[in-house]
Amino acid sequence: MTRHSRPPLLYTLVEGRAFIEFGLCLQAMPLLRQAPRGDGHPVLVYPGFMAANSSTNLLRWFLRDLGYAAEGWCLGRNLGHEDYMVDLQRQLDRVYRKHGRQVSLIGWSLGGVFAREIARANPDKVRQVITLGSPFSTGPSGTQVSWLYRMVTGRTIKDEDVERIRTCLTVPTTAIYSETDGIVNWRGCVEEEGECRENIQVHGSHFGLGHNPVVLSAIADRLAQDPQNWRPFSPSAVQSLLFPKHRTQVVRTLQAMTLYFMLGKSAD
């Protein structure tokens, strides 16, 4: 198993920027609401470790505003216990029966690990999984809160558990991460890219991922896909400027075009 160190302490010390991201999200909401309308399918949103549904209020409101049947999870504060899986399974069964449609799962941090495990056990009921800074490739060892996880849960994640959790799913998965995440080493949050698997890099803090306007934009794009015709994330030229990897591609294209016209003009 590949192990990763904790993220740099500097990034951890500036996690307070999450408040700035929240403010930016509120300001950007008029633009975010121009995202493609949802098709009404159900979406379950799981909070991160030690967080409750209140942490995902803005995200769920945004999704409902777009037309999705978004719900929080059913377990109060996420204390990371293994026996949560039983209640999460019941919730998925209830939502699936209620809507008669596959359910999209969005999990923030540890919530994403639970989302992946639920999807692994129920590929017929899950439409897709979107994780936000979730350490599914390393477990708690690649985070700044491994000590708190051990104290709260009373257990240590074994290597074989991490190997199972990191194994690719059979449903479409999107892993959203930030290289300046101050809580989780971003390398533990990325998926092995392949068919129906992708990673989307954003700029931001760990505590702000659930209300980062760029993240919300990416989530809206992913949820709006035709489930029978999944395609990798491909933002518009303007949107690409907000996503580091895509922005690099745009910049290179613009540089190539500029060089082409400069050489053409010189030839004249």
Interatomic CA distance for residues 43 and 73, integer angstroms: 10
User: CB of 193 within 8 A of CB of 237?
Assistant: no
**Predicted TM-score (pTM) of this structure:** 0.89
Amino acid at residue number 82: E
pLDDT tens for the chain, 268 residues long, are: 455 688 999 999 999 999 999 999 999 999 999 999 999 999 999 999 999 999 999 999 999 999 999 999 989 999 999 899 999 999 999 999 999 999 999 999 999 999 999 999 999 999 999 999 999 988 777 899 888 988 998 877 776 777 888 899 999 999 999 999 999 999 999 988 888 999 999 999 999 999 999 999 999 999 999 988 999 998 877 777 778 776 555 555 545 555 556 665 555 5
Cβ contacts of 107 within 8 Å, gap of 6 or more? 45, 46, 113, 114, 115, 116, 129, 130, 131, 132, 134
Q: Helix 57-66 crosses helix 213-223 at what angle (to 10 degrees)?
A: 40
Of 233, 148, 158, 214, nearest in space to 184 by CA: 148
| Chain mean position to CA 102 | 19
